[in-house]
Structure 1
């Protein structure tokens, strides 16, 4: 008994000794646990609340609740063709949105399994991943993986202000505050949006390098596809770029991108989204890119988009929008198919024409810059022109005016990429080499317009917007040559002259200020003496008879007539105006010729149908402005006059393709300036009027000869090739047909082949019988 009690006392004594020894340590542990518990339970919410309200300005600002509920995402504004094709965008950051339905299931699943496989199970924060994040922060070696898709969206949508004093204490405080803000915003996003909306917003806000923002632009840039068309391996490339767009850029770093793609593919296999067989087969495939960085030089209608941009900037300023970031949708009248046909026709013809142009000047051992008055080569042309370049000004600022170093540096060769019709080519060129090379290029302009609606269907401003910025449709004004003659004859027809009026091919002598003026015909003579109708005279482009008509109707009346048809450029009311000596734009000329086809109604060209905001709300609809410019019978008589070019013997449009003229009513007028620097062609059909111009950027760039440079050879073939392509595509809606006739019929018989009158008086033509034609 005593032994038992003794043992109990011994055990109790030892236990008391142990507790006596451990008690201080145990107390500290318990105290620490309680402190930690209170910090987590009370302190952490208080800390989060403090960050959310930016207590005392210590943490930096937060977006408002309204901003979170209605996130603003800077969007590029998109230009859309009449047939629904994207022509391009205006952007600071090239971004365009898609909806969830426009995303490939491959893309959505790849994103979730690779970036956030518990996406549908959390409410914005993945707590299971936080230990890895904390360890990364403690070791300054964060490998990511903690941020959910929602948190990444929060970071993409809002530029988090980390300028508070606490954020500047170091990397760890800054990172902790940033993560806290992401948590707060993520919770708000999850409350306000569905999971599908969050995925869509995330993919719309990602930066994919190469000036591509958002999944839509990225897919177009790297694969020339829509997001809905991505394969599994392409989706893996896109998702792989989300972590580091520059490092995993498949164009710049293909090896990195391939490794990252395969890493993503393995995650898909690991989550059983793809089979082992699929994984093994696709991981060995190369990344097949169709890479093209989007910019204003690429895509369809770059000259048109550049002109359109200036109009849109003015509109946005008036209506309070930012063209570069408001996500506007600009719907245009341009038909993407017709635009492509116009650009293809231009490139095909200009490549051949340029080759012939260069060969003929080389055979003459001369340069194409020629003095207007003497006809001789301009000496020192390039030396004078280089002084207008930015390169020259920079060298003068560096070395001083008159320094030999300027001339030396202008001739130092350096690597350069140049334009050729066979594609861009790398070479070694000096500034002077480049100037010499590019000033030999011929340029062109083409505009195609629906005469009834005023809608511009195609716009080509030059041969390459990247290398030649100047627009030759609306910006450039040049002498129209004989394409101006229809305004002279239109004035005459309106005054009562008949298209069948006959005159002698003899150049008149007209009194002008300081002497007399007697124009020569294109063959260099003062006329053949042949009697012909004014229809045939216009068809053959006879200068002498045009001058006679100008003398009869007076220059001022011709100017007034042209003004009513939409010519706004300065016109000199002098006799030589009948030969097209005053500069006009192709834009004006096409609209004016449309007035004839539209039976006397002038329709101002237009190219915007409506503008919508980023949500599809229509901000403004646009309708063309019209006015009655002439009587419908006068207009139809001028159509008959213009048809002479393809119907009269010796007509300047007889070289058009037979297929175009067969079962089709066509009118046309060529134009060539006396100095052989400009070639024009204006072609009309019952529902499409198209003008083309060819020449040098500089007026002093001349064709080797007048014969070579005439509009029938330089500009008409572009029109021919363009119209042939348009007619082959029935979906454009522009096919062959006949011109509309006046509803009231005509007051004369339009059949000059049966006309025997030799009268030269306007009133004598009024005796003809009235010709009644049903309105088509």
Structure 2
């Protein structure tokens, strides 16, 4: 009987063993079948192996400054720039592994222990998704489905793809891909954008607590948004720090200390309308579009297959210096804030009933407003929607909430309620500006400021805007005269009324220009003193002697384009030019007569570092070294005894009884050699200053969008008041940073100079002009 019981027990155990192996083998077979089915596409199509080996993610194109800084990016939806594993700090990698996948280094894509635990406890003690699985989901699977059946299919696909990723990539590559692919919110796609946007630094510079915050956002970046839910994000950060302590990446003491720290968010948004060099970036966008249109991808050769500026991760190396760009923008902001306040002060309704327009008729005002309305987005959108003109016009008189530009606000914006018509008038009242700075020997543009605020004023006055040059054109007339007639800067001409008869140089009527003060001193001026004080009568004599045709020919060679009439009046700057061309042209004076076309892009690379484009300098010999140096000597007189003299001194405060206010002086005190020229156009509509030191040429323009928006008097309306201060502030900031290497030395004088510039060797026609031209000082028409 005992034997029978023992035999039965043995049989039962054998059956148990048999069934165990049957079930185990069936489980293995089932898992294998599931994986095979998934690989065959029965649970949905899987990406091919080629795609796994080179997953395609949208990469933003980078704009890189000459000093290696990231100026900005071009992107549509994904502001992503990949970083390599070597660029990730250890604390960031450790925080990720401790929080998301503690056994990441030991498994091959699937964490068996974590999976069993997740099934046993139905996920109550944590999920089982490894970093590899999460990467597979983000790259190829997508958002988890709410359907349980579909969710299971997605999980199976993740398993298969995770194993394939582990076979195709190293652990380090998977880590870097994981950080690069994640969307951290607020345009922070990938870890590099996240580090820059939330902390203003590169990933390699992240501190432990900063790394912990970013890793904590992997749970759900839209929920754990540090800009909206800082306390919640801090709590999540502290959980990550606790996990790092649990797995001995930091000590308990370090954990406690770090958890006690505040978040320390340093928000630096990366959008197309904010940040450094916004106007330049928009110019660059147009440049790249033109380049892409002309350069199909070389590997294909098919013109229909072109680079994508927003997806292909191009690297665009520019000539802009990030420090000089920042100095330029700061100089513009500092001066324009004060200048605009003065303009508003002078254009209150009780002082100017047609503000912001000055000295125009109601019909002219109506014409300006009508043109602005029809050019507005509101008009175009409503017209495209089929609205009648009556409906469109009525909409311009309905008050609406809006955010407008405001110099006085820390954010440069304020919320208000205005009618669209009033908002047009409001924006017309703001003075605009343009500034460009270039290295004359190379043509490299170092700074580019196209306006006062790109978000609200998107017209780029550096290259899109063209305004009358005023007296900044006069050096070209003097250069033509010195070149053709071999004149010395010490040659003299009388300041008397001078007329060019009708028909002599193509002018239809006699041309008899007057000086800005409407007077003639009757004295003789050296060319140097005449240019320094912008004596129009002397300039008229010179263009009469050489002829407008020769002047036009020369400025064409110096890069000025557009419609330039060959008439005498161009001598006083009646033609429209832009800052970009003027800086290029002046650059030839500082470069010994050689014109170098301004360049902004030096090289373009694809995401792998292959060079796609390298610039070739465009140069032209226009003037001799002697002539160009003589012009520099002439223009140095502008800052030594003419309208640019205020660069040399702080200036005295002056009382304005009409406004019961004090005009403050100028804080520059520059002592180094400076060649420059101020310029002002009729009615003070445009103020210019062109300033040069041996290795930097800078042009500044200030004026209203409409020529009728201007200062009433010369006190503030001239170039010496509107534009020169920006140059002075900019150069003061540049000189404060010795690493920039901006010249303080004099311009190099050519050997065997054939044009005499030493006026002691010339007999002055009269010494009486020394003290009789006070009424011309600081005037620059």
What TM-score do you get using the length of structure 1 for normalisation?
A: 0.87
- Look up the SS of the partner of 2:55 in the other structure: coil
For residues 208-607 of structure 1, the aligned pairs below 5 Å read 208-317=184-293, 318-320=295-297, 321-362=307-348, 364-370=351-357, 378-379=365-366, 381-382=368-369, 384-395=371-382, 400-403=387-390, 406-407=393-394, 410-416=397-403, 418-424=405-411, 425-430=413-418, 431-498=420-487, 499-510=489-500, 511=502, 513-525=507-519, 527-607=520-600
Could you tell me whether the CA contact under 8 Å between 2:358 and 2:709 is conserved in 1?
no
Contact 1:507 1:548 in 2 (8 A): no
Task: Provide the C-alpha distance between the structure 2 equivalents of 1:173 and 1:227, rounded to a whole number of angstroms.
Answer: 39
1:749 alignment partner, SS class: coil
SS at match of 1:75: coil
- Asked if 1:738 is matched to 2:746, the reply is yes
Question: Is 1:173–2:143 an aligned residue pair?
Answer: no
Per-residue deviation, 1:306: 1.1
1:86 corresponding residue in structure 2 = 70
Equivalent-residue separation in structure 2 for 1:388 and 1:739 (angstroms)? 47
The 1:50/1:538 distance shift into structure 2, 3 A limit, reads same
Contact 1:60 1:161 in 2 (8 A): no
Deviation larger for 180-189 or 404-413: 404-413
Q: Is the 8 A contact 2:548 2:568 kept in 1?
A: yes
1:764: which partner in 2?
none
1:450-501 Cα distance to aligned partner (Å, 9 max, x none): 1111111111111111111111111111111110111111111111241222
- Shift, 1:40, TM fit: 3.0
Shift of 1:132: 5.1
Q: What does residue 708 of structure 1 align with?
A: 716
For 1:634 and 1:684, how far apart are their aligned partners in 2? 16
Could you tell me how far apart the structure 1 residues matched to 2:166 and 2:29 are? Answer: 24
Distance 1:376 1:503 in 2: 44
**Contiguous gaps of at least 5 residues in structure 1:** 1-7, 760-776
With over 3 angstroms needed to count, the CA separation of the structure-2 counterparts of 1:688 and 1:418, relative to structure 1, is closer
- 1:675 equivalent to 2:662? Answer no
Give secondary structure in 2 for the equivalent of 1:692.
Answer: strand
Report how far residue 742 of structure 1 moved.
2.2
- Counterpart Cα distance in 2 of 1:741 and 1:376: 56
| Residue 157 (structure 1) aligns with | 139
Is the Cα–Cα contact under 8 Å of residues 450 and 456 in structure 1 kept in the other structure? yes
Note if contact 1:502-1:531 (Cα within 8 Å) is conserved in structure 2: yes
Alpha carbons 2:269, 2:275 under 8 Å: kept: no
Deviation at 1:188, TM superposition (A): 2.5
Deviations 1:642-697 (A, max 9, x none): 122123x4x12111134977652211101111132110000111111111000112
TM-superposed deviation, 1:508 = 2.2
1:369/1:377 contact within 8 Å kept: no
Which whole-Å deviations, capped at 9, do the CAs of 1:614-645 have from their partners, x for residues lacking one? 23333332232112112222211111221221
Deviates more, 1:705-714 or 1:209-218: 705-714
Residues 578/412 of structure 1: CA separation in 2 closer, same or farther (3 Å cut): same
How far apart are residue 143 of structure 1 and its match?
8.8
The question of whether the paired residues in 1 share the 8 Å contact of 2:436 and 2:448 is answered with yes
Asked if 2 retains the 8 angstrom alpha-carbon contact of 1:366 and 1:377, the reply is: no
Aligned mates of 1:128, 1:375 — CA distance in 2 = 83
Bigger drift between 432-441 and 84-93 goes to 432-441
Deviations 1:234-268 (A, max 9, x none): 22211111121100111122232122222222222
Find out whether 1:193 has 2:169 as its counterpart: yes
- Indicate if the aligned counterparts of 2:39 and 2:46 stay in contact, CA closer than 8 A: yes
2:778 aligned residue:
none
3-state secondary structure, aligned to 1:670: strand
CA distance in 1, matches of 2:389, 2:415: 29
Is the CA contact 1:133–1:146 (under 8 Å) kept in the aligned structure 2?
yes
Query: How far apart, CA to CA, are the structure 2 residues paired with 1:461 and 1:384?
Result: 23
Go from structure 1 to structure 2 and tell me whether the alpha carbon gap of 1:595 and 1:71 turns closer, same or farther (over 3 Å shift).
same
Matched, 1:635 2:622: no
Tell me how far apart the structure 1 counterparts of residues 212 and 5 of structure 2 sit (CA, whole Å): 70
- Does 2:714 align with 1:726? no
CA spacing shift, 1:244–1:669, aligned 2, 3 Å:
same
Q: Which is further off, 296-305 or 316-325?
A: 316-325
Given that residues 349 and 718 in structure 1 are in contact (C-alpha distance below 8 angstroms), is that contact kept between their aligned partners in structure 2? Answer: yes
Between structure 1 and structure 2, the one with the greater Rg is 1
Equivalent-residue separation in structure 2 for 1:405 and 1:160 (angstroms): 45
Q: CA offset at residue 273 of structure 1?
A: 3.0
1:71 to 55, 58, 83: 55
1:751 is the counterpart of 2:758? yes
Q: Aligned partners of 2:492, 2:6: CA distance in 1, in Å?
A: 140
Offset at residue 738 of structure 1 (A)? 1.3
RMSD of the alignment, in Å? Answer: 3.1
Distance 2:112 2:723 in 1: 70
Q: Distance in 1 between matches of 2:465 and 2:44?
A: 53
Please tell me whether the aligned partners of residues 399 and 406 of structure 1 are also in contact (alpha carbons under 8 angstroms): no
Of 418-427 and 446-455, the range deviating more from structure 2: 418-427
Q: Which range moves more in the overlay, 415-424 or 707-716?
A: 415-424
2 CA distance for matches of 1:159 and 1:621? 40
Cα contact 1:449–1:690 (8 A) shared by 2 = yes
Name the CA distance, whole Å, in 2 between partners of 1:491 and 1:561.
7
What secondary structure, in the 3-state scheme, does the structure 2 residue paired with 1:387 have?
Answer: helix
Number of equivalences? 730
The 2-side partners of 1:483 and 1:143 are apart by 76
TM (norm. structure 2) is 0.87
Separation (CA, whole Å) in 2 of partners of 1:669 and 1:409 = 43
Would the alpha carbon gap of residues 121 and 13 (structure 1) be closer, same or farther in structure 2, given more than 3 Å must change? Answer: closer
Match of 2:607 among 601, 614, 620: 614
Q: Could you say what secondary structure the match of 1:378 adopts?
A: helix
Give the superposition deviation at 1:41: 3.2
Query: Relative to structure 1, is the Cα distance of residues 32 and 253 closer, same or farther in structure 2, using a 3 angstrom cutoff?
Result: farther
Measured in 1, the distance between the counterparts of 2:141 and 2:482 equals 68
Aligned partner (choices 177, 199, 205) of residue 181 of structure 2: 205
Q: Is the 8 A contact 1:345 1:721 kept in 2?
A: yes
8 Å CA contact 1:692–1:719 kept in 2: the answer is yes
Deviation at 1:395, TM superposition (A): 4.9
1:417-475 CA distance string (max 9 Å, x none)? 53324423432222233222221111111111111111111111111111111111111
| Alignment match, 1:694 | 702
Q: CA deviation at 1:308?
A: 1.1
Kindly indicate whether the alpha-carbon contact (under 8 Å) linking 1:595 and 1:602 is maintained by their aligned counterparts in 2: yes
Q: Deviations over 1:714-771 (max 9, x none)?
A: 101111111111112110011301112224x222321235422669xxxxxxxxxxxx
- In the TM superposition, what is the alpha-carbon distance from 1:179 to its structure 2 partner? 2.3
Between the aligned partners of 1:638 and 1:619, the Cα distance in structure 2 is 40
Following TM superposition, by how much is the alpha carbon of 1:350 offset from its aligned partner in structure 2, in angstroms?
0.8
